[in-house]
Structure 1
Amino acid sequence: MGSSKSETLPPPPPPPPVVPPNVEPQKVAPAKPGRIPMARRGYGTRGQSIQLLTNHYKVSVSKTEGYFFHYSVAIKYEDGSPANEKGVGRRIIDKVYDTYKAELAGKQFAYNGEKSLFTTGGLPQNNFEFTIILEDVSSNRASGSIEDDSGGRKRLRKHIRSKTYKVAINYAAKVPMQAIADALRGRDSDHYQEAVRVLDVMLRQNAAKKGCLLVRQSFFHNDPKSFVMIGDGVVGCRGFHSSFRATQGGLSLNMDVSTTMIVKPGPVIDFLIENQKIDHPSRIDWIDWIKAKRMLKNLRVKASNTNLEYKISGLSDRICRQQTFTLKQRREGDSEPHEVEITVYDYYLHHRNIQLKYSGDLPCLNVGRPKRPTYIPIELCSLVSLQRYTKALSSSQRASLVENSRQKPQERMNALKHALASSNYGDDPLLQSSGVSISGDFTRIQGRVLPPPKLRVGNGQEFVPGNGKWNFNNRTLVDPAKVACWIIVNFSARCDLQRLSRDLMGCGERKGMTFTPPFKIFEEEPHARRMPPSMRVAEMLKRLQKDLIGPAQLNLCVLSERKNSDIYGPWKRKAFAEWGMTTQCIAPLQHINDQYLTNLILKINAKLGGLNSMLTIERSLTMPLVSKAPTIIVGMDVSHGSPGQFDAPSIAAVVASRDWPLISRYRAEVRTQSSKLEMIDSLFKPVTDKLDDGTFVDLLRDFYKSSNQQKPEQIIIFRDGVSETQFNQVLNIELEQIMKACKFLDETWDPKFMVVVAQKNHHTKLFQANSPHNVPPGTVVDTGICHPRLNDFYMCAHAGMIGTSRPTHYHVLYDELGFSSDDLQELVHSLSYVYQRSTTAVSLVAPICYAHLAAGQMAQLVKADDVSERSSSGGAAAAPVVPEMPKIHDWVRNSMFFC
């Protein structure tokens, strides 16, 4: 499998085209017929039987004859230009129905809020054109000028501001209701997804009529009881997800608790004080108004003096006492009004009789247009409820959200029962006309609990974990590393580093590791603490270069901030790319216990090439199929930029097992790709002037070198983070690249492949039928709620200690290895026990967890501001240039640096 073969072969054809960002996946067809997800071959039988309940409600469909009719909707202004006002579509269509109910024969319809409308049975004709007038009560203050009445006594004038819209409704297609019944029988149906989409739109219509905030298939009520305060003016709003799914038990409604982020409703000034962490209103002048402008733009407010709603377009350039505008007023005896310049503060004081308490020294909210501003003092405005907060959460906000959103299984079940009852789907006229009725009871299903695999640690000791967890008390590591040369680098953290090093060495030696004392402890100079992060790192590296002859085997980097240190990314970049040092960053608490040190030892040992624990069956060669022939196990994941970072590149990470027959050691390859691109485009790249054949070629070469010069005869791929609409792309784009990578290395090589997609972002929950506790670790379900035809199963491998466990949904898309259902489920279960960072079973197979870690760590090496600087300057239409991932040192690259 050496490189000589690839040098003698002609360059292979390029990989299939990768889907560009922002293209709907389902519209991208492969160049040839392509592969499709495989059908189920059988069911598992191993394990102890367990009675379960699930948050799926049985749906009965009495109508199988007839059609759903799909109509396209086009809304335009009176002059023919498209009406693109956000959120106005539902109001317009409701007005159309109220005004032209007779012309529509009184037929109810479901509208998706954009360009599609659905009915059960057809409308009286195929094409309609309606004209409607939508009225909006608003102030006449459309600009900075205000007209006074003739007596000089100002009163607020309101008028009805109306807009005329033209609405075209045209027949587009019809969807047979029979498609649902066909899909439930396991038959392929081109129209099934369309039919279920119609039912989902009906659920959205039901929620829209109740004034809910709609976020895809989740609905959120304006109920303060459902609000969870998570800090900085952001609120977690708890609502419910509802969607229809085809299962082996028929059509079901999947309902689950859902949470979205909203801006905290209430006075704008209170939001700003909380958002900018000001501890008292008297310190309002500390507010960063540039940041405040970004936070407030496009939010809706209600003014207390008018009781009207406005959208914030910005802030005034000057404070309220100084910001002027033109006021039109008419004096007694004048035939025409004249204009005077007046400050906003004086206007509200003298013309509105409103004494402003503290807004005089603050900017005003601009609720008009940039060229025709309308200013309102901040203290008169309150933020309207149910406005989504779409920016990235801070680490403290995420922690608060998790802490406050947890629900024990019984709590979640009670919340779902209440939600279904209050939704009143049974009386919905649209669902009734479709013949749809929904049961009020959780679906009862049969599950199985797989026994945990036996683990091996040091000195040949073997044991069976209990309840999905174990510990290293009186146990040693199965393959401990030796730490011959290491250093400690302290970036101003206040802790006893001498004691920390002694305790760490002592803990490591008890676990079997050999530690020499640290070569040196490098303390940050006091003058460097006020420098930018990159300069602090550069200053520290100068000191290392002065005292170190070569890179240390390990550097322990001590940070003062937990989880969100600005030092982390620049330090990792220097250590990985320039020095070739394995680095472990910590932000220790004041009191460090033995469990903290043990967790640290596990990470360090794995990074230095050691092995903490392993499956007993790895060495005994008794794993079904995997032990029969050289097998490489692969995990793939793509990490995207935070919300709001539109030009930040996506990070694709691929990890693969090494040292066969082991399945506990892995290596990672990471690349950047276009922003928001989900399909990995770097798995195979033909040789160019750059020495990069693609991530998978590198991983195959590594397997060959580490596995006694053996090529993998079996390749098992676990893919994370793709939706069901992208399954065909995984098979026809990503798997195709992997197959070409194999042929590139050896034209005669013909390994067998298996592709499994793992999904955590779903809404199915499992509950014990006769217990208030979470389902036990190892619970697997492949009947009742799984797909009626495709090969999928749910597994909860971990012990859910807090909240309600979420099982992982595995989909087997492709299998040339011939795994039985039992053998595959046991392999997946076992792969949840080889995660070297912890002493618990994890909810996803370890290769995917590692890919997620690798993508997240390497994303720190590519900064968002670097992306902006590298972006093309050829105009707004030009796509940004994707920055390359910094080349990391071979020593780091060959290690489990991501642990």
Structure 2
Amino acid sequence: MLFSTNTVCIKSEDDKVVDSKGIGRKVIDKLLQTYCSELDGKDFAYDGEKCLFTVGPLPQNNFEFTVILEETSSRAAGGSPVHESPTQANKKRVKRSHLAKKFSVDISYAAKIPLQSVALALRGSESEHGQDVLRVLDVVLRQQQAKRGCLLVRQSFFSDDSRNLVDLTGGVSGCRGLHSSFRTTIGGLSLNMDVSTTMVVTPGPVIDFLVTNQNVRDIRDIDWPRAKKMLKNLRVKAKHNNMEFKIIGLSDQPCSRQMFPMKVRNGNIEIKSVDITVQDYFKSKQVELTMPYLPCLDVGKPKRPNYLPIELCHMVSLQRYTKALSSQQRAMLVEKSRQKPQERMRVVTDAVKSNMYDDDPILSSCGIEIEKQLTRVDARVLSAPALVVGNSEDCIPNRGRWNYNNKRLFDPVKIERWAIVNFSARCDMSRISRELINCGRSKGIFIECPHSLVDEDSQSRRCSPVERVEKMFEKVKASLPGPPEFLLCLLPERKNCDIYGPWKKKNLHEMGIVTQCIAPSNKMNDQYFTNVLLKINAKLGGMNSKLALEHRQMIPVVTQIPTLILGMDVSHGSPGRADIPSIAAVVGSRCWPLISRYRASVRTQSPKVEMIDSLFKPLDDGKDDGIMRELLLDFYQTSQQRKPKQIIIFRDGVSESQFSQVLNVELNQIIKAYQSMGQGDLPKFTVIIAQKNHHTKLFQADSPENVPPGTVVDSGIVHPRQYDFYMCAHAGPIGTSRPTHYHVLLDEIGFSADNLQKLVLSLSYVYQRSTTAISVVAPICYAHLAAAQMGQFMKFEEFADTSSGSVNSSSPPSIPELPRLHADVCSSMFFC
């Protein structure tokens, strides 16, 4: 049995190619009804664009069809209900509802995809068309949901049900739906289903949306230029005629003054064109506007405006919101998206039953039946690694957690010369200082009294963030006899404070001073100060805890041979900002045989590019300025002049389609960097991808709780050929735990499965700023933190402005380089 792949080209009467998925699906559905016999009665799987799949070949290789599609009044295009007299509008509307649109559809054979490819893939063989078959089966699932009127977002679908919406404020709602996709696993062909969430514009009156979006009390307070930008391309439905339109802008004048020409007829003789206001036009239609002082929505064409009063318009449901969420909205989304394991299991199993996949003719003809219950797999729970804290005392984590009650840190620092600076946060600096000192001494950190408490001048608060930082440093210099070794910075806001970036840049780039920022609140108890001190101690070169095996130099494979551990991540700009450079960060372990200390190297690169291009960067003078040179030199200098003989790479953020690039591009750069330093024989490499962005969840069969920390699954649902496993290293007290999916792309070192999985679990317990096991290995978390913090150094909006206004648009804009860290802090864990 095989799938036949056919290319589809749909053209309208004016010979323009139709690229709208909505119209494309309607045309193909109508074609199937009209020409069923010509097509041998075959069912289609249509992707909404240019590909159409059938089980077995069509009767001939090429078809040309004409499809007549009745146009519905709710989607009527062309003339405006506003620009005509009521009589004209009614006549045109009647005409439109019976108007038929003609489309030409060309279908031509492209290729065949043997269904046997999946069987070969399941047996672990290389299969040329394995991924193609899975794509076709996923198209079948998408088509099924499209026919039900769902919003499709990649492999997830969302229905128009108000019960699925959670308000995130600002006119944005989280819409809960379902993800579904086919995967080949060692246990057979699997349907992966999970709860999914996307952001949509909250449906309802446009007026309510604007008031909520701009957080104002009255519609009269709306910032209309900002509203125009927000509303563009959104769809609305007019209350007075139930027609749907796309917004292209706003009118220049309010309804009461916005004029447009209306043709007036006297009997059958056209007399003249009369200018009339939008308000008067609707009054003639017995629609009394209550807010004529508001501008109109322009739902016409660029050169042919069509005005609708805002008060008569509602936002259409299921419109994706693709702009970046605020920190408050993100927090609300996380909180409201949580589901307990039992609830999540129920939603997914109910969805499988209600979707009736077994009734789908294409799946049935392929012999595919979907089980109604979740797949049972065997798992094992690795025991948590023991930790060592102060006085070489053992600390045994319990359910992925531990604490420092009545314990000292393993290697506490001494802080003698420091100060507190306050950027207008409302707090008692003396009390914060006192409690930090007392908490520090109980944990073994000796902290002298701060040399100075520096308050921001009231007149400085009106200055720009950079000026505020400069003025604060002038006060710090005046009040201290010399440069401090540490500064505690009090910020007025916990999230998105515009002081944060300039402050960090000033300290880490220019001054070489370690700094810790906090936002004072009424929840500053002993646990709060302990968490702050964990960060401070790590940044200043101390160590909070150590693995017992690390302390005794007994980590299998790693402590016998000099081993460098790398964590790699790339941070991209927010959604919709393709003009902001991406930031690549790599952290490398240091002081071998330790696996708890790291340093970071960070660079900018082209926007939205995932592969790191600065691992090896040869300069014109023959030297190398790449990331790996920094990390290899640091390893050598801190590891008794030993070169790494083994390098373990943990890479975050890449999809399966990019695995080969990690080996061919990134690993190749690392090898070149090593060779350029004259390091002799190449080390052995182990390359591991860590994926969090997937939809596989693990549940305990006989418990409502999440799986325990240390749970590993390496059978049943893993890849039939590659070496991969799922691990839940962390405890999940809230919601449903998401395991990390580790793919081992290369293992020259030759780890046993046990040793590798224990190493991965151990690296989830060395995160110095936490007293819990984390969900992914610490090097990856550190790389993510380093990229995020260094990204705050630069105002990329300035870069975006200059690049968009470039004279020569054919040449790509140059990517601004990040400021390098000061020599005094470049090897510190500043990102902690």
TM-score with structure 2 length normalisation?
Answer: 0.97
Which of 619, 622, 636 pairs up with 2:551?
619
Distance across 2 between alignment mates of 1:378 and 1:856: 40
2:351 maps to 1:413: no
Q: 2:435: which partner in 1?
A: 503
Distance across 2 between alignment mates of 1:291 and 1:720: 37
Q: 1:718: which partner in 2?
A: 650
Which of 200, 207, 225 pairs up with 1:262?
200
Q: 1:747 deviation in Å?
A: 5.1
Note the alpha carbon deviations across 1:288-315, whole angstroms, 9 max, x for none: 1111111111111110111010011111
2:775 maps to 1:821: no
Letter of the 1:120 counterpart: V
Distance across 2 between alignment mates of 1:488 and 1:692: 40
Q: Is the 8 A contact 2:122 2:185 kept in 1?
A: yes
Q: Is the 8 A contact 1:558 1:585 kept in 2?
A: yes
Distance across 1 between alignment mates of 2:490 and 2:89: 68
Q: Is the 8 A contact 2:338 2:735 kept in 1?
A: yes
Q: 1:67: which partner in 2?
A: 2
Note the alpha carbon deviations across 1:797-850, whole angstroms, 9 max, x for none: 000010000000000010111100000000000000000010000000000000
Which of 32, 47, 59 pairs up with 1:97?
32
Which of 267, 270, 273 pairs up with 1:336?
270
Distance across 2 between alignment mates of 1:555 and 1:535: 18
**Aligned CA-pair RMSD:** 1.8
Q: 2:133: which partner in 1?
A: 195
Q: Is the 8 A contact 1:457 1:476 kept in 2?
A: yes
Distance across 1 between alignment mates of 2:228 and 2:631: 48
2:829 maps to 1:893: no
What does 1:264-283 correspond to in 2, within 5 Å? 264-279=202-217, 283=218
Distance across 2 between alignment mates of 1:173 and 1:541: 68
Q: 2:95: which partner in 1?
A: 159
Q: 1:155 deviation in Å?
A: 7.8
2:418 maps to 1:491: no
Letter of the 2:295 counterpart: P
Structure 2 residue runs without a partner (length 5+): none
Note the alpha carbon deviations across 1:481-516, whole angstroms, 9 max, x for none: 111211212111101111001101111111111111
Q: 1:609: which partner in 2?
A: 541
Percent of residue pairs bearing the same amino acid type: 59
Letter of the 1:345 counterpart: Q
Note the alpha carbon deviations across 1:719-760, whole angstroms, 9 max, x for none: 001011111000111011111111111252321111000000
In the superposition, relative to structure 1, how do residues 785 and 320 fare at CA in structure 2: closer, same or farther (>3 Å)? same
2:567 maps to 1:635: yes
Q: Is the 8 A contact 1:144 1:326 kept in 2?
A: no
Q: 1:128: which partner in 2?
A: 63
Q: Secondary structure at the match of 1:527?
A: helix
In the superposition, relative to structure 1, how do residues 118 and 345 fare at CA in structure 2: closer, same or farther (>3 Å)? same
Distance across 1 between alignment mates of 2:451 and 2:258: 63
Letter of the 1:442 counterpart: L
Distance across 2 between alignment mates of 1:140 and 1:682: 51
2:256 maps to 1:304: no
Distance across 1 between alignment mates of 2:369 and 2:197: 27
Q: Secondary structure at the match of 2:699?
A: strand
Structure 1 residue runs without a partner (length 5+): 1-65
Q: 1:673: which partner in 2?
A: 605
2:91 maps to 1:184: no
Q: Is the 8 A contact 2:416 2:448 kept in 1?
A: yes
Q: 1:227: which partner in 2?
A: 165
Q: 1:880 deviation in Å?
A: 2.7
Which of 494, 510, 529 pairs up with 1:597?
529
Distance across 2 between alignment mates of 1:797 and 1:276: 41
Q: 1:215: which partner in 2?
A: 153
Distance across 1 between alignment mates of 2:499 and 2:648: 37
Distance across 2 between alignment mates of 1:442 and 1:685: 49
Q: 1:246 deviation in Å?
A: 0.9
Which of 279, 285, 288 pairs up with 1:355?
288
In the superposition, relative to structure 1, how do residues 94 and 567 fare at CA in structure 2: closer, same or farther (>3 Å)? same
Letter of the 2:290 counterpart: K
Q: 2:250: which partner in 1?
A: 315
Q: Is the 8 A contact 2:585 2:787 kept in 1?
A: yes
Letter of the 1:276 counterpart: Q
Q: 1:572: which partner in 2?
A: 504
Q: 1:46: which partner in 2?
A: none
Note the alpha carbon deviations across 1:454-486, whole angstroms, 9 max, x for none: 100011101211000000001111111111211
Letter of the 2:333 counterpart: L
What does 1:860-879 correspond to in 2, within 5 Å? 860-871=792-803, 873-879=806-812
Note the alpha carbon deviations across 1:137-175, whole angstroms, 9 max, x for none: 44687259733378x998874432554332211111001
Q: Is the 8 A contact 1:143 1:372 kept in 2?
A: no
Q: 1:18: which partner in 2?
A: none
Letter of the 1:95 counterpart: K
After alignment, is 820-829 or 120-129 more displaced? 120-129
Which of 728, 738, 746 pairs up with 1:806?
738
Q: Is the 8 A contact 1:719 1:848 kept in 2?
A: yes
Distance across 2 between alignment mates of 1:272 and 1:87: 27
Distance across 2 between alignment mates of 1:158 and 1:449: 69
2:315 maps to 1:377: no
Distance across 2 between alignment mates of 1:749 and 1:549: 51
Letter of the 1:835 counterpart: Y
In the superposition, relative to structure 1, how do residues 243 and 473 fare at CA in structure 2: closer, same or farther (>3 Å)? same
Q: Which has the higher contact order (CA 8 A, sep 6+)?
A: 1
TM-score with structure 1 length normalisation?
Answer: 0.90
Which of 45, 51, 73 pairs up with 1:116?
51
Note the alpha carbon deviations across 1:33-54, whole angstroms, 9 max, x for none: xxxxxxxxxxxxxxxxxxxxxx
Note the alpha carbon deviations across 1:867-891, whole angstroms, 9 max, x for none: 2144271344442321111122122
Q: Secondary structure at the match of 2:372?
A: coil
Distance across 1 between alignment mates of 2:473 and 2:255: 50
Q: Secondary structure at the match of 1:438?
A: coil
Distance across 2 between alignment mates of 1:153 and 1:843: 61
Q: 1:524 deviation in Å?
A: 1.6
What does 1:529-608 correspond to in 2, within 5 Å? 529-548=461-480, 550-608=482-540
Distance across 1 between alignment mates of 2:539 and 2:49: 51
Distance across 1 between alignment mates of 2:63 and 2:695: 39
Q: Secondary structure at the match of 1:170?
A: strand
Letter of the 1:147 counterpart: E
Q: 1:880: which partner in 2?
A: 813
Distance across 2 between alignment mates of 1:284 and 1:878: 44
Distance across 2 between alignment mates of 1:430 and 1:810: 34
Misfit runs of 4+, over 6 Å: 152-156
Letter of the 2:130 counterpart: Y
In the superposition, relative to structure 1, how do residues 762 and 503 fare at CA in structure 2: closer, same or farther (>3 Å)? same
Distance across 1 between alignment mates of 2:622 and 2:736: 48
Note the alpha carbon deviations across 1:531-579, whole angstroms, 9 max, x for none: 3323322332333344445432111111111112111112212222212
Letter of the 1:180 counterpart: V
Q: 1:692 deviation in Å?
A: 5.1
Distance across 1 between alignment mates of 2:611 and 2:345: 36
Q: 1:669 deviation in Å?
A: 0.2
Q: 1:362 deviation in Å?
A: 1.0
In the superposition, relative to structure 1, how do residues 550 and 127 fare at CA in structure 2: closer, same or farther (>3 Å)? farther
